[in-house]
Chain A
Protein backbone atom coordinates (compact mmCIF):
# COMPACT_ATOMS: atom_id res chain seq x y z
CA UNK A 1 0.00 0.00 0.00
CA UNK A 2 2.79 2.40 0.90
CA UNK A 3 5.94 2.71 -1.11
CA UNK A 4 8.43 2.63 1.77
CA UNK A 5 6.89 0.75 4.65
CA UNK A 6 8.95 0.92 7.81
CA UNK A 7 7.31 -1.50 10.16
CA UNK A 8 7.92 -2.10 13.80
CA UNK A 9 8.24 -5.68 14.99
CA UNK A 10 4.68 -5.48 16.31
CA UNK A 11 3.48 -4.56 12.85
CA UNK A 12 5.45 -7.39 11.31
CA UNK A 13 3.83 -9.88 13.67
CA UNK A 14 0.48 -8.38 12.88
CA UNK A 15 1.16 -8.96 9.19
CA UNK A 16 2.19 -12.58 9.74
CA UNK A 17 -0.80 -13.45 11.89
CA UNK A 18 -3.10 -11.74 9.44
CA UNK A 19 -1.67 -13.62 6.47
CA UNK A 20 -1.86 -16.92 8.35
CA UNK A 21 -5.51 -16.41 9.31
CA UNK A 22 -6.39 -15.51 5.76
CA UNK A 23 -4.58 -18.51 4.38
CA UNK A 24 -6.53 -20.73 6.80
CA UNK A 25 -9.77 -19.12 5.66
CA UNK A 26 -8.84 -19.68 2.01
CA UNK A 27 -7.99 -23.33 2.68
CA UNK A 28 -11.30 -23.81 4.49
CA UNK A 29 -13.01 -22.36 1.44
CA UNK A 30 -11.25 -24.75 -0.87
CA UNK A 31 -11.50 -27.86 1.28
CA UNK A 32 -15.14 -28.88 0.64
CA UNK A 33 -14.50 -28.67 -3.11
CA UNK A 34 -11.34 -30.75 -2.85
CA UNK A 35 -13.16 -33.27 -0.66
CA UNK A 36 -16.05 -33.68 -3.09
CA UNK A 37 -13.62 -34.07 -6.00
CA UNK A 38 -11.65 -36.69 -4.10
CA UNK A 39 -14.89 -38.49 -3.29
CA UNK A 40 -15.88 -38.59 -6.93
CA UNK A 41 -12.67 -40.37 -7.93
CA UNK A 42 -12.72 -42.85 -5.05
CA UNK A 43 -14.19 -46.33 -5.07
CA UNK A 44 -17.69 -46.79 -3.71
CA UNK A 45 -16.38 -48.98 -0.92
CA UNK A 46 -13.82 -46.40 0.18
CA UNK A 47 -16.43 -43.63 0.22
CA UNK A 48 -19.00 -45.72 2.08
CA UNK A 49 -16.53 -46.73 4.74
CA UNK A 50 -15.45 -43.14 5.27
CA UNK A 51 -11.83 -43.48 4.22
CA UNK A 52 -11.74 -40.42 1.95
CA UNK A 53 -10.30 -37.26 3.47
CA UNK A 54 -8.26 -35.33 0.95
CA UNK A 55 -7.09 -37.58 -1.90
CA UNK A 56 -9.01 -40.17 -3.91
CA UNK A 57 -8.83 -43.59 -2.26
CA UNK A 58 -8.75 -46.58 -4.61
CA UNK A 59 -8.74 -44.32 -7.66
CA UNK A 60 -11.49 -45.00 -10.18
CA UNK A 61 -13.50 -43.08 -12.74
CA UNK A 62 -16.46 -45.43 -12.49
CA UNK A 63 -18.71 -42.80 -10.91
CA UNK A 64 -17.90 -40.30 -13.64
CA UNK A 65 -18.54 -42.90 -16.31
CA UNK A 66 -21.86 -43.71 -14.68
CA UNK A 67 -22.92 -40.05 -14.83
CA UNK A 68 -21.63 -39.51 -18.36
CA UNK A 69 -23.57 -42.55 -19.55
CA UNK A 70 -26.85 -40.94 -18.46
CA UNK A 71 -28.63 -39.43 -21.45
CA UNK A 72 -30.50 -36.99 -19.21
CA UNK A 73 -27.23 -35.53 -18.01
CA UNK A 74 -26.24 -34.57 -21.56
CA UNK A 75 -29.72 -33.40 -22.43
CA UNK A 76 -29.88 -31.07 -19.45
CA UNK A 77 -26.35 -29.86 -20.16
CA UNK A 78 -27.37 -28.97 -23.70
CA UNK A 79 -30.51 -27.26 -22.42
CA UNK A 80 -28.51 -25.14 -20.02
CA UNK A 81 -26.13 -24.11 -22.79
CA UNK A 82 -29.12 -23.18 -24.92
CA UNK A 83 -30.79 -21.15 -22.13
CA UNK A 84 -27.53 -19.48 -21.17
CA UNK A 85 -26.49 -18.41 -24.66
CA UNK A 86 -29.90 -17.40 -25.98
CA UNK A 87 -30.98 -15.95 -22.64
CA UNK A 88 -27.89 -13.78 -22.35
CA UNK A 89 -28.25 -12.52 -25.92
CA UNK A 90 -31.91 -11.70 -25.29
CA UNK A 91 -30.98 -9.84 -22.12
CA UNK A 92 -28.33 -7.80 -23.91
CA UNK A 93 -30.66 -7.01 -26.80
CA UNK A 94 -33.21 -5.59 -24.35
CA UNK A 95 -30.86 -3.98 -21.85
CA UNK A 96 -28.34 -2.18 -24.06
CA UNK A 97 -30.73 -0.04 -26.15
CA UNK A 98 -32.86 0.80 -23.10
CA UNK A 99 -29.81 1.82 -21.10
CA UNK A 100 -28.54 3.95 -23.98
CA UNK A 101 -31.82 5.82 -24.26
CA UNK A 102 -31.99 6.33 -20.49
CA UNK A 103 -28.46 7.74 -20.44
CA UNK A 104 -29.46 10.69 -22.66
CA UNK A 105 -30.36 13.81 -20.65
CA UNK A 106 -32.47 15.10 -23.54
CA UNK A 107 -34.88 12.15 -23.24
CA UNK A 108 -38.24 13.56 -22.16
CA UNK A 109 -39.70 11.53 -19.28
CA UNK A 110 -36.31 10.16 -18.34
CA UNK A 111 -36.81 10.44 -14.60
CA UNK A 112 -40.26 8.85 -14.60
CA UNK A 113 -39.08 5.94 -16.73
CA UNK A 114 -35.99 5.55 -14.58
CA UNK A 115 -38.19 5.35 -11.51
CA UNK A 116 -40.54 2.83 -13.11
CA UNK A 117 -37.54 0.60 -13.71
CA UNK A 118 -35.74 1.10 -10.40
CA UNK A 119 -38.94 0.63 -8.39
CA UNK A 120 -38.93 -3.06 -9.30
CA UNK A 121 -35.73 -3.51 -7.33
CA UNK A 122 -37.56 -2.56 -4.14
CA UNK A 123 -41.00 -3.93 -4.69
CA UNK A 124 -42.29 -6.86 -6.67
CA UNK A 125 -45.57 -8.69 -6.58
CA UNK A 126 -44.07 -11.90 -5.27
CA UNK A 127 -43.94 -15.52 -6.22
CA UNK A 128 -47.63 -16.34 -6.65
CA UNK A 129 -48.82 -13.40 -8.79
CA UNK A 130 -45.67 -13.76 -10.89
CA UNK A 131 -46.41 -17.44 -11.39
CA UNK A 132 -50.10 -16.88 -12.22
CA UNK A 133 -49.13 -14.16 -14.65
CA UNK A 134 -46.84 -16.54 -16.51
CA UNK A 135 -49.64 -19.09 -16.54
CA UNK A 136 -52.01 -16.54 -18.04
CA UNK A 137 -49.39 -15.69 -20.65
CA UNK A 138 -49.19 -19.41 -21.42
CA UNK A 139 -45.50 -19.53 -20.65
CA UNK A 140 -45.57 -22.56 -18.36
CA UNK A 141 -43.49 -25.46 -19.56
CA UNK A 142 -42.07 -23.36 -22.37
CA UNK A 143 -38.50 -22.69 -23.44
CA UNK A 144 -39.52 -19.27 -24.68
CA UNK A 145 -40.95 -18.48 -21.26
CA UNK A 146 -37.70 -19.36 -19.53
CA UNK A 147 -35.75 -17.15 -21.92
CA UNK A 148 -38.05 -14.12 -22.02
CA UNK A 149 -39.52 -13.94 -18.53
CA UNK A 150 -36.15 -13.67 -16.82
CA UNK A 151 -34.40 -11.52 -19.40
CA UNK A 152 -34.18 -8.21 -17.57
CA UNK A 153 -33.03 -7.19 -14.17
CA UNK A 154 -33.34 -3.51 -13.25
CA UNK A 155 -29.90 -3.55 -11.70
CA UNK A 156 -28.29 -4.50 -15.01
CA UNK A 157 -30.01 -1.66 -16.85
CA UNK A 158 -28.79 0.79 -14.23
CA UNK A 159 -25.28 -0.63 -14.45
CA UNK A 160 -25.25 -0.20 -18.22
CA UNK A 161 -26.81 3.26 -18.06
CA UNK A 162 -24.18 4.40 -15.56
CA UNK A 163 -21.51 3.35 -18.01
CA UNK A 164 -23.12 5.07 -20.98
CA UNK A 165 -23.48 8.24 -18.91
CA UNK A 166 -19.75 8.26 -18.29
CA UNK A 167 -19.00 8.34 -22.03
CA UNK A 168 -17.99 11.81 -23.13
CA UNK A 169 -20.73 13.57 -25.18
CA UNK A 170 -18.09 14.62 -27.71
CA UNK A 171 -18.24 11.13 -29.24
CA UNK A 172 -21.91 11.58 -29.95
CA UNK A 173 -21.45 15.11 -31.26
CA UNK A 174 -18.75 14.01 -33.67
CA UNK A 175 -20.92 11.20 -35.00
CA UNK A 176 -23.87 13.58 -35.41
CA UNK A 177 -21.68 15.88 -37.52
CA UNK A 178 -21.24 12.92 -39.85
CA UNK A 179 -25.01 12.56 -40.02
CA UNK A 180 -25.39 9.46 -37.83
CA UNK A 181 -28.71 8.80 -36.09
CA UNK A 182 -29.20 7.27 -32.62
CA UNK A 183 -29.29 3.67 -33.85
CA UNK A 184 -26.04 4.17 -35.72
CA UNK A 185 -24.43 6.02 -32.84
CA UNK A 186 -25.33 3.23 -30.42
CA UNK A 187 -24.14 0.52 -32.77
CA UNK A 188 -20.99 2.09 -34.16
CA UNK A 189 -19.81 4.32 -31.32
CA UNK A 190 -21.24 3.33 -27.95
CA UNK A 191 -21.22 -0.45 -28.18
CA UNK A 192 -17.53 -0.62 -29.21
CA UNK A 193 -16.69 1.81 -26.38
CA UNK A 194 -18.75 -0.13 -23.86
CA UNK A 195 -17.24 -3.55 -24.49
CA UNK A 196 -15.97 -3.98 -20.90
CA UNK A 197 -19.31 -2.91 -19.43
CA UNK A 198 -21.20 -5.17 -21.83
CA UNK A 199 -18.93 -8.05 -20.89
CA UNK A 200 -19.70 -7.40 -17.23
CA UNK A 201 -23.45 -7.36 -17.77
CA UNK A 202 -23.26 -10.39 -20.05
CA UNK A 203 -21.33 -12.22 -17.36
CA UNK A 204 -23.92 -11.36 -14.70
CA UNK A 205 -26.72 -12.58 -16.97
CA UNK A 206 -24.89 -15.75 -17.99
CA UNK A 207 -24.02 -16.70 -14.42
CA UNK A 208 -27.61 -16.19 -13.32
CA UNK A 209 -28.77 -18.37 -16.22
CA UNK A 210 -26.24 -21.10 -15.62
CA UNK A 211 -26.94 -21.33 -11.90
CA UNK A 212 -30.67 -20.63 -11.79
CA UNK A 213 -32.85 -23.59 -10.92
CA UNK A 214 -35.87 -22.42 -8.97
CA UNK A 215 -38.13 -21.08 -11.69
CA UNK A 216 -37.03 -23.72 -14.16
CA UNK A 217 -38.08 -26.30 -11.58
CA UNK A 218 -41.42 -24.58 -11.00
CA UNK A 219 -42.26 -23.85 -14.64
CA UNK A 220 -40.93 -26.77 -16.65
CA UNK A 221 -42.81 -30.06 -16.60
CA UNK A 222 -41.29 -31.70 -19.66
CA UNK A 223 -38.14 -33.67 -18.82
CA UNK A 224 -36.63 -32.80 -22.20
CA UNK A 225 -36.57 -29.10 -21.37
CA UNK A 226 -35.02 -29.06 -17.91
CA UNK A 227 -31.67 -27.37 -17.43
CA UNK A 228 -28.68 -28.88 -15.70
CA UNK A 229 -29.42 -27.41 -12.28
CA UNK A 230 -32.87 -28.99 -12.15
CA UNK A 231 -31.36 -32.31 -13.19
CA UNK A 232 -28.74 -31.89 -10.46
CA UNK A 233 -31.45 -31.16 -7.93
CA UNK A 234 -33.24 -34.34 -8.92
CA UNK A 235 -30.12 -36.44 -8.79
CA UNK A 236 -28.43 -35.01 -5.73
CA UNK A 237 -31.12 -33.80 -3.40
CA UNK A 238 -34.20 -35.80 -4.17
CA UNK A 239 -32.25 -39.03 -4.36
CA UNK A 240 -30.37 -38.46 -1.12
CA UNK A 241 -33.53 -37.56 0.73
CA UNK A 242 -35.20 -40.79 -0.34
CA UNK A 243 -32.51 -42.98 1.03
CA UNK A 244 -33.53 -46.37 -0.24
CA UNK A 245 -31.94 -45.35 -3.53
CA UNK A 246 -28.61 -45.32 -1.74
CA UNK A 247 -28.64 -49.02 -1.06
CA UNK A 248 -29.84 -49.84 -4.55
CA UNK A 249 -26.99 -47.97 -6.14
CA UNK A 250 -24.12 -49.17 -3.97
CA UNK A 251 -21.84 -51.42 -5.99
CA UNK A 252 -18.18 -52.09 -5.61
CA UNK A 253 -17.15 -49.50 -8.15
CA UNK A 254 -19.32 -46.56 -7.19
CA UNK A 255 -21.82 -45.55 -4.57
CA UNK A 256 -24.39 -42.80 -4.13
CA UNK A 257 -21.71 -40.60 -2.56
CA UNK A 258 -19.20 -40.94 -5.36
CA UNK A 259 -21.87 -40.44 -8.02
CA UNK A 260 -23.07 -37.30 -6.26
CA UNK A 261 -19.48 -36.12 -6.15
CA UNK A 262 -19.06 -36.85 -9.85
CA UNK A 263 -22.23 -34.95 -10.76
CA UNK A 264 -21.04 -31.96 -8.74
CA UNK A 265 -17.57 -32.02 -10.28
CA UNK A 266 -18.79 -32.46 -13.87
CA UNK A 267 -21.29 -29.64 -13.58
CA UNK A 268 -18.77 -27.27 -12.04
CA UNK A 269 -16.13 -27.70 -14.74
CA UNK A 270 -17.40 -24.92 -17.04
CA UNK A 271 -17.66 -22.50 -14.11
CA UNK A 272 -14.14 -23.30 -12.94
CA UNK A 273 -12.80 -22.96 -16.50
CA UNK A 274 -14.28 -19.52 -17.21
CA UNK A 275 -13.87 -18.22 -13.68
CA UNK A 276 -10.30 -16.84 -14.11
CA UNK A 277 -11.45 -14.93 -17.20
CA UNK A 278 -14.41 -13.48 -15.34
CA UNK A 279 -12.47 -12.19 -12.41
CA UNK A 280 -11.58 -8.78 -13.78
CA UNK A 281 -15.15 -8.20 -14.94
CA UNK A 282 -17.01 -9.00 -11.77
CA UNK A 283 -14.80 -6.78 -9.66
CA UNK A 284 -15.56 -4.02 -12.11
CA UNK A 285 -19.26 -4.84 -12.08
CA UNK A 286 -19.55 -4.64 -8.33
CA UNK A 287 -17.76 -1.30 -8.30
CA UNK A 288 -19.75 0.18 -11.16
CA UNK A 289 -23.04 -0.72 -9.55
CA UNK A 290 -22.17 -0.38 -5.92
CA UNK A 291 -20.17 2.80 -5.71
CA UNK A 292 -22.29 4.97 -7.92
CA UNK A 293 -25.72 4.04 -6.55
Chain B
Protein backbone atom coordinates (compact mmCIF):
# COMPACT_ATOMS: atom_id res chain seq x y z
CA UNK B 1 0.00 0.00 0.00
CA UNK B 2 2.93 2.29 0.60
CA UNK B 3 4.20 1.87 -2.95
CA UNK B 4 3.92 4.94 -5.10
CA UNK B 5 4.07 5.45 -8.85
CA UNK B 6 7.64 6.48 -9.65
CA UNK B 7 6.96 10.10 -10.51
CA UNK B 8 9.23 12.12 -8.25
CA UNK B 9 11.58 9.32 -7.30
CA UNK B 10 14.79 11.19 -6.96
CA UNK B 11 15.63 9.14 -3.90
CA UNK B 12 15.82 5.36 -4.00
CA UNK B 13 13.06 3.62 -2.06
CA UNK B 14 15.49 2.07 0.37
CA UNK B 15 16.83 5.45 1.42
CA UNK B 16 13.30 6.74 1.91
CA UNK B 17 12.45 3.76 4.09
CA UNK B 18 15.59 4.14 6.13
CA UNK B 19 14.82 7.79 6.75
CA UNK B 20 11.06 7.54 7.28
CA UNK B 21 10.45 4.05 8.62
CA UNK B 22 9.03 5.56 11.77
CA UNK B 23 6.34 7.39 9.82
CA UNK B 24 5.33 4.14 8.14
CA UNK B 25 5.33 2.41 11.48
CA UNK B 26 2.94 5.07 12.77
CA UNK B 27 0.67 4.58 9.79
CA UNK B 28 0.71 0.81 9.84
CA UNK B 29 -1.83 0.14 12.62
CA UNK B 30 -4.39 2.47 11.09
CA UNK B 31 -3.86 1.06 7.60
CA UNK B 32 -4.19 -2.50 8.87
CA UNK B 33 -7.41 -1.39 10.53
CA UNK B 34 -8.76 0.05 7.27
CA UNK B 35 -7.83 -3.14 5.43
CA UNK B 36 -9.37 -5.40 8.03
CA UNK B 37 -12.60 -3.56 8.74
CA UNK B 38 -13.44 -1.48 5.69
CA UNK B 39 -11.67 -2.96 2.65
CA UNK B 40 -12.06 -6.64 3.47
CA UNK B 41 -15.87 -6.28 3.52
CA UNK B 42 -15.67 -4.86 -0.01
CA UNK B 43 -14.26 -8.21 -1.05
CA UNK B 44 -17.26 -9.75 0.66
CA UNK B 45 -19.59 -7.83 -1.64
CA UNK B 46 -19.27 -10.75 -4.06
CA UNK B 47 -21.98 -12.62 -2.18
CA UNK B 48 -24.46 -10.28 -3.84
CA UNK B 49 -23.70 -12.21 -7.04
CA UNK B 50 -23.56 -15.65 -5.44
CA UNK B 51 -25.93 -18.22 -4.05
CA UNK B 52 -24.40 -17.90 -0.62
CA UNK B 53 -24.37 -20.84 1.68
CA UNK B 54 -22.82 -20.44 5.11
CA UNK B 55 -21.96 -24.13 4.97
CA UNK B 56 -19.84 -23.84 1.81
CA UNK B 57 -18.39 -20.48 2.73
CA UNK B 58 -18.04 -17.36 0.64
CA UNK B 59 -15.45 -18.56 -1.86
CA UNK B 60 -17.07 -21.92 -2.65
CA UNK B 61 -20.62 -20.64 -3.06
CA UNK B 62 -21.66 -20.72 -6.74
CA UNK B 63 -21.93 -17.58 -8.85
CA UNK B 64 -25.43 -16.76 -10.01
CA UNK B 65 -24.91 -13.38 -11.67
CA UNK B 66 -27.70 -10.87 -11.24
CA UNK B 67 -30.34 -13.27 -9.99
CA UNK B 68 -30.69 -11.57 -6.60
CA UNK B 69 -31.18 -8.23 -8.27
CA UNK B 70 -33.91 -9.71 -10.47
CA UNK B 71 -35.57 -11.13 -7.35
CA UNK B 72 -35.39 -7.77 -5.63
CA UNK B 73 -36.95 -5.91 -8.50
CA UNK B 74 -39.89 -8.30 -8.49
CA UNK B 75 -40.33 -7.89 -4.77
CA UNK B 76 -43.02 -5.44 -3.72
CA UNK B 77 -41.44 -4.86 -0.32
CA UNK B 78 -38.11 -3.87 -1.84
CA UNK B 79 -39.70 -1.59 -4.41
CA UNK B 80 -41.74 0.00 -1.67
CA UNK B 81 -38.55 0.51 0.33
CA UNK B 82 -36.88 2.22 -2.65
CA UNK B 83 -39.88 4.49 -3.04
CA UNK B 84 -39.98 5.30 0.67
CA UNK B 85 -36.26 6.03 0.75
CA UNK B 86 -36.59 8.52 -2.07
CA UNK B 87 -39.72 10.14 -0.62
CA UNK B 88 -38.31 10.52 2.87
CA UNK B 89 -35.02 11.92 1.57
CA UNK B 90 -36.71 14.31 -0.79
CA UNK B 91 -38.98 15.61 1.95
CA UNK B 92 -36.01 15.97 4.31
CA UNK B 93 -34.02 17.76 1.65
CA UNK B 94 -36.79 20.24 0.92
CA UNK B 95 -38.20 20.69 4.42
CA UNK B 96 -35.32 20.01 6.81
CA UNK B 97 -32.20 21.29 5.09
CA UNK B 98 -33.27 24.96 4.87
CA UNK B 99 -33.90 25.10 8.64
CA UNK B 100 -30.23 25.25 9.75
CA UNK B 101 -29.53 27.95 7.17
CA UNK B 102 -32.46 30.00 8.41
CA UNK B 103 -31.39 29.43 11.99
CA UNK B 104 -27.82 30.56 11.27
CA UNK B 105 -29.07 33.72 9.56
CA UNK B 106 -31.33 34.48 12.49
CA UNK B 107 -28.72 33.77 15.16
CA UNK B 108 -26.29 36.00 13.30
CA UNK B 109 -28.75 38.90 13.50
CA UNK B 110 -29.05 38.71 17.30
CA UNK B 111 -27.23 41.70 18.77
CA UNK B 112 -27.13 40.76 22.43
CA UNK B 113 -24.21 38.43 23.11
CA UNK B 114 -25.95 36.88 26.11
CA UNK B 115 -29.12 36.02 24.25
CA UNK B 116 -27.11 34.70 21.36
CA UNK B 117 -25.00 32.41 23.56
CA UNK B 118 -28.01 31.02 25.38
CA UNK B 119 -29.92 30.34 22.18
CA UNK B 120 -26.89 28.55 20.75
CA UNK B 121 -26.43 26.51 23.90
CA UNK B 122 -30.04 25.36 23.81
CA UNK B 123 -30.36 24.55 20.12
CA UNK B 124 -27.07 22.61 19.91
CA UNK B 125 -27.98 20.40 22.85
CA UNK B 126 -30.32 17.84 21.19
CA UNK B 127 -27.51 16.78 18.83
CA UNK B 128 -25.84 15.09 21.78
CA UNK B 129 -28.89 13.08 22.70
CA UNK B 130 -28.86 9.53 21.36
CA UNK B 131 -31.42 8.32 18.84
CA UNK B 132 -32.67 5.81 21.39
CA UNK B 133 -33.53 8.60 23.78
CA UNK B 134 -34.95 10.63 20.92
CA UNK B 135 -37.25 7.74 20.02
CA UNK B 136 -38.17 7.41 23.68
CA UNK B 137 -39.06 11.09 23.89
CA UNK B 138 -41.09 10.92 20.68
CA UNK B 139 -43.00 7.95 22.06
CA UNK B 140 -43.63 9.67 25.37
CA UNK B 141 -44.84 12.86 23.70
CA UNK B 142 -47.06 11.01 21.20
CA UNK B 143 -48.38 8.30 23.52
CA UNK B 144 -52.06 7.78 22.69
CA UNK B 145 -53.25 7.61 26.28
CA UNK B 146 -50.89 9.88 28.22
CA UNK B 147 -48.79 11.82 25.71
CA UNK B 148 -48.62 15.56 25.56
CA UNK B 149 -49.95 15.87 22.02
CA UNK B 150 -52.97 13.69 22.63
CA UNK B 151 -53.71 15.38 25.93
CA UNK B 152 -53.72 18.70 24.12
CA UNK B 153 -55.94 17.29 21.36
CA UNK B 154 -58.33 15.86 23.92
CA UNK B 155 -58.43 19.12 25.83
CA UNK B 156 -59.43 20.91 22.64
CA UNK B 157 -62.15 18.38 21.98
CA UNK B 158 -60.47 16.32 19.26
CA UNK B 159 -60.12 12.55 19.19
CA UNK B 160 -56.98 10.92 20.53
CA UNK B 161 -54.82 9.24 17.91
CA UNK B 162 -52.01 6.68 18.04
CA UNK B 163 -49.80 8.58 15.59
CA UNK B 164 -46.95 6.08 15.61
CA UNK B 165 -49.17 3.38 14.12
CA UNK B 166 -50.49 5.62 11.36
CA UNK B 167 -48.52 5.32 8.10
CA UNK B 168 -49.62 8.78 6.97
CA UNK B 169 -47.96 10.37 10.01
CA UNK B 170 -44.63 8.59 9.91
CA UNK B 171 -42.76 11.01 7.62
CA UNK B 172 -43.96 14.02 9.55
CA UNK B 173 -42.84 12.49 12.83
CA UNK B 174 -39.50 11.35 11.43
CA UNK B 175 -38.61 14.62 9.74
CA UNK B 176 -39.78 16.96 12.48
CA UNK B 177 -38.01 15.01 15.22
CA UNK B 178 -34.87 15.05 13.09
CA UNK B 179 -35.15 18.80 12.70
CA UNK B 180 -35.50 19.06 16.47
CA UNK B 181 -32.34 17.01 16.96
CA UNK B 182 -30.02 18.31 14.26
CA UNK B 183 -31.12 21.72 12.93
CA UNK B 184 -29.31 23.65 15.64
CA UNK B 185 -26.07 21.75 15.35
CA UNK B 186 -26.12 21.83 11.55
CA UNK B 187 -26.37 25.62 11.70
CA UNK B 188 -22.80 25.82 13.09
CA UNK B 189 -21.25 25.33 9.67
CA UNK B 190 -23.33 28.12 8.18
CA UNK B 191 -22.59 30.39 11.11
CA UNK B 192 -18.90 29.75 10.57
CA UNK B 193 -19.30 30.69 6.91
CA UNK B 194 -21.14 33.88 7.88
CA UNK B 195 -18.36 34.78 10.32
CA UNK B 196 -15.92 34.54 7.44
CA UNK B 197 -17.63 37.30 5.45
CA UNK B 198 -15.59 40.48 5.17
CA UNK B 199 -17.11 43.07 7.60
CA UNK B 200 -16.19 45.87 5.18
CA UNK B 201 -19.07 44.71 2.95
CA UNK B 202 -21.58 45.40 5.70
CA UNK B 203 -19.95 48.68 6.66
CA UNK B 204 -20.16 50.10 3.16
CA UNK B 205 -23.72 48.81 2.76
CA UNK B 206 -24.64 50.63 5.93
CA UNK B 207 -23.09 53.82 4.67
CA UNK B 208 -25.29 53.44 1.61
CA UNK B 209 -28.32 53.20 3.90
CA UNK B 210 -29.10 49.51 3.43
CA UNK B 211 -31.55 47.92 5.89
CA UNK B 212 -30.65 44.73 7.74
CA UNK B 213 -33.11 42.83 5.59
CA UNK B 214 -31.36 44.04 2.43
CA UNK B 215 -27.95 43.17 3.84
CA UNK B 216 -29.10 39.60 4.50
CA UNK B 217 -30.33 39.17 0.95
CA UNK B 218 -27.56 41.06 -0.86
CA UNK B 219 -24.51 40.17 1.22
CA UNK B 220 -24.98 37.31 3.67
CA UNK B 221 -26.87 34.82 1.54
CA UNK B 222 -24.79 35.27 -1.64
CA UNK B 223 -21.61 34.94 0.44
CA UNK B 224 -22.57 31.61 1.99
CA UNK B 225 -23.93 30.14 -1.24
CA UNK B 226 -20.81 28.02 -1.86
CA UNK B 227 -21.11 26.51 1.64
CA UNK B 228 -24.77 25.78 1.01
CA UNK B 229 -23.89 24.12 -2.30
CA UNK B 230 -21.15 21.94 -0.84
CA UNK B 231 -23.36 20.76 2.00
CA UNK B 232 -26.19 20.09 -0.42
CA UNK B 233 -23.87 17.87 -2.45
CA UNK B 234 -22.90 15.96 0.68
CA UNK B 235 -26.55 15.61 1.60
CA UNK B 236 -27.54 14.45 -1.86
CA UNK B 237 -24.79 11.89 -1.73
CA UNK B 238 -26.25 10.58 1.49
CA UNK B 239 -29.81 10.66 0.20
CA UNK B 240 -30.06 6.87 0.39
CA UNK B 241 -28.53 6.76 3.84
CA UNK B 242 -31.77 7.61 5.55
CA UNK B 243 -31.23 7.35 9.29
CA UNK B 244 -32.02 3.67 9.61
CA UNK B 245 -30.74 3.49 13.19
CA UNK B 246 -33.53 5.84 14.10
CA UNK B 247 -36.19 4.35 11.83
CA UNK B 248 -35.56 0.88 13.22
CA UNK B 249 -36.55 2.23 16.61
CA UNK B 250 -39.56 4.17 15.46
CA UNK B 251 -41.29 2.01 12.89
CA UNK B 252 -43.51 -0.99 13.40
CA UNK B 253 -45.24 -3.36 10.98
CA UNK B 254 -48.26 -1.06 10.92
CA UNK B 255 -46.18 1.76 9.46
CA UNK B 256 -43.87 -0.21 7.14
CA UNK B 257 -45.96 1.07 4.26
CA UNK B 258 -44.31 4.49 4.53
CA UNK B 259 -41.46 3.85 6.97
CA UNK B 260 -39.58 0.89 5.56
CA UNK B 261 -36.52 2.15 3.67
CA UNK B 262 -33.78 0.28 1.80
CA UNK B 263 -31.43 0.09 4.77
CA UNK B 264 -34.11 -1.11 7.20
CA UNK B 265 -35.11 -3.67 4.57
CA UNK B 266 -31.49 -4.82 4.40
CA UNK B 267 -31.40 -5.03 8.18
CA UNK B 268 -34.52 -7.18 8.39
CA UNK B 269 -33.58 -9.45 5.49
CA UNK B 270 -29.92 -9.77 6.31
CA UNK B 271 -29.24 -9.35 10.00
CA UNK B 272 -32.58 -10.57 11.31
CA UNK B 273 -33.53 -13.00 8.55
CA UNK B 274 -30.03 -14.25 7.65
CA UNK B 275 -30.71 -13.85 3.89
CA UNK B 276 -27.23 -12.45 3.48
CA UNK B 277 -26.85 -12.69 -0.28
CA UNK B 278 -30.16 -11.01 -1.09
CA UNK B 279 -29.58 -8.27 1.49
CA UNK B 280 -26.05 -7.69 0.21
CA UNK B 281 -27.49 -7.27 -3.30
CA UNK B 282 -29.85 -4.63 -1.97
CA UNK B 283 -26.81 -2.99 -0.39
CA UNK B 284 -24.91 -2.98 -3.69
CA UNK B 285 -27.87 -1.36 -5.39
CA UNK B 286 -27.95 1.23 -2.62
CA UNK B 287 -24.23 2.00 -2.88
CA UNK B 288 -24.22 2.30 -6.68
CA UNK B 289 -27.18 4.66 -6.74
CA UNK B 290 -25.58 6.70 -3.95
CA UNK B 291 -22.33 7.02 -5.88
CA UNK B 292 -24.17 8.15 -9.01
CA UNK B 293 -26.07 10.70 -6.94
CA UNK B 294 -22.90 12.13 -5.35
CA UNK B 295 -21.17 12.50 -8.68
CA UNK B 296 -24.27 13.99 -10.29
CA UNK B 297 -24.86 16.44 -7.48
CA UNK B 298 -21.21 17.44 -7.51
CA UNK B 299 -21.36 18.15 -11.23
CA UNK B 300 -24.52 20.19 -10.80
CA UNK B 301 -22.95 22.17 -7.98
CA UNK B 302 -19.85 22.87 -10.07
CA UNK B 303 -21.97 24.16 -12.89
CA UNK B 304 -24.18 26.39 -10.76
CA UNK B 305 -21.88 27.74 -8.07
CA UNK B 306 -18.41 26.82 -9.35
CA UNK B 307 -17.74 24.88 -6.16
CA UNK B 308 -17.87 21.19 -5.55
CA UNK B 309 -16.63 18.62 -3.12
CA UNK B 310 -14.28 16.95 -5.59
Contact = CB atoms under 8 A, between A and B. Distances in A.
Interface stretch (A58-66, A67-75, A81-89, A108-116): A108-116
Interface string A268-282: 100110011011001
Interface string B8-43: 000001001000101110110111011011111110
A26 B271 contact: no
B245 interface: yes
Interface of B: 1-4, 13, 16, 20, 22-24, 26-27, 29-31, 33-34, 36-42, 44-45, 47, 58, 103, 106-112, 115, 118-119, 121-126, 128-133, 135-137, 139-141, 143, 145-146, 148, 150-151, 154, 180, 184-185, 188-189, 192-193, 196, 199, 202-203, 206, 211-213, 237, 244-245, 248-249, 252, 263, 266-267, 270-271, 276, 279-280, 283-284, 286-287, 291, 294, 309
A154 to B, nearest CB: 8
Contacts of B143: 240, 257
B111 to A, nearest CB: 6
A292 to B, nearest CB: 11
A8 B211 contact: yes
A151 interface: yes
A168 interface: no
A77 interface: no
A26 B125 CA distance: 10
Interface string A122-155: 1111111111110001000000000011011000
A108 B20 contact: yes
A84 to B, nearest CB: 12
Interface in A217-259: 218, 229, 232-233, 236-237, 240-241, 255, 257
A260 B139 CA distance: 10
Contact of A32 (B103, B137, B199): B137
A263 B136 contact: yes
A264 B137 contact: yes
Contacts, number: 285
Given A26-B119, A35-B141, A132-B276, A236 B132 contact: yes
Nearest to A11: B212
Contact of A268 (B30, B40, B129, B206): B129
A109 B20 CA distance: 12
B237 A214 contact: no
User: Which residue, A47, A112, A237, A279, has most C-beta atoms of chain B within 10 A?
Assistant: A237
B167 to A, nearest CB: 16
Given A21-B106, A261-B140, A129 B44 contact: yes
Given A5-B111, A47-B146, A279-B124, A129 B42 contact: yes
Contact of A25 (B16, B45, B123, B211): B123
Per DSSP, chain B at the interface is: helix
Given A102-B27, A129-B44, A14 B213 contact: yes
Contact of A125 (B45, B121, B189): B45
B130 A29 contact: no
A35 B136 CA distance: 12
Contacts of A148: 33, 37
A26 B283 contact: no
Contact of A113 (B2, B40, B154): B2
B137 A157 contact: no
Contact of A39 (B103, B124, B140): B140
